[in-house]
Structure 1
């Protein structure tokens, strides 16, 4: 297996509160990329909201056999975390997943 850091952009179309952000971060925490060599070297933040907009990006660490599986797993994780935070699918559309780091042992 290979460890991938996957970045997924999105936009919140529903209101974001401190509480929903905290729930989202907690749901994503097991996939925090700062535990990888790439994440430590790059000082990656797991969740970034861009100032003055509702756009965000989420960076995750996933274990997978290939890039397609890594992107699928990352999207599944992000979608589940957004639902846990109370966002319906149409309230938080996601962009294309991008592999932003690869670490092999």
Structure 2
């Protein structure tokens, strides 16, 4: 059972990293980043349940990771409309706002 869950988590992590690296759309990159965070959460809960049944350290830590991911998504999705208003595009490869 542990191997199947870890394979699922590794697959989600690979898809998330691949999507983050190759996507040109900022919203898609944020979604792939959230997919990566969820793969990490699956690992945390799985290892917590597998190694220590009496404590809930993995579940509590995954709640903190979800809270941080939600804050990151909120900030990222707030930045997207602001950039779209200025540049009329949300393609990542067209951003040069931080260049001198």
Give the alignment's TM-score, normalised by structure 2: 0.30
Greater percentage in helix:
2
Larger Rg: 2
Higher relative contact order structure (alpha carbons within 8 Å, sequence separation ≥ 6)? 1
Greater percentage in strand:
1
Give the alignment's TM-score, normalised by structure 1: 0.29
